[in-house]
Amino acid sequence: MNFRNLAKECAGLALAKKAKEILILDVRKLTSITDYFVICNGRSNIHVETIAESIVSKLKGKGIRPLHIEGEKQAQWLLIDYVGVIVHVFYEPTRKFYGLEKLWAEGKKVKFQEGKRKKPKRSSKL
């Protein structure tokens, strides 16, 4: 899997756990530390942990393991380093405070297929 597809996969996994404001930035022309940032946020520390744990476990099931994970104790800003893709999962107020999107504003936004969430079927029988 190339890094662009890995970034999209991470974004999709975050979406599956109801992450908010998901953004993929192509930063290849701006830095040598990584190719893509995936930035998203959760509504609480527990939500942030859940999003990050889901990404790590689902990719581990595909044989893709992170090089490093930062911020697990506080769960305000979890960073998952896949070398060519760095995933930033923020607690919403922390994301606003650090403003990574503004720091990396020259990065190119990458679209990803969000997919359609299935609506629960309503029973017509009462």
Q: What is the CATH number of the domain that holds 59?
A: 3.30.460.10
* Number of independent structural domains in the chain: 1
Q: Is residue 36 part of a domain?
A: yes
Q: pLDDT tens string for the chain (126 positions)?
A: 899 999 999 999 999 999 999 999 999 999 999 999 999 999 999 999 999 999 999 999 999 999 999 988 888 999 999 999 999 999 999 999 999 989 999 999 999 776 544 444 555 555
pLDDT computed for residue 119 by the predictor: 47
Is position 120 within any domain? no
Tell me, yes or no, whether 121 lies in a domain.
no
Alpha carbon separation from 12 to 16, 20, 102 (Å, rounded):
6, 11, 23
Residue 1 confidence (pLDDT): 81
**Residue 125 falls within a domain, yes or no?**
no
Residue 119 lies in a domain: no
- Report the SS3 class of residue 83: coil
114 part of a folded domain? no
Whole-Å CA distances, 50 to 24, 62, 67, 107: 19, 19, 19, 27
Residues 118, 41: Cα–Cα separation, whole Å: 22
Domain that holds residue 69: 3-109
pTM comes to 0.86
Is residue 117 one of the residues assigned to a domain? Answer: no
Q: Is residue 126 part of a domain?
A: no
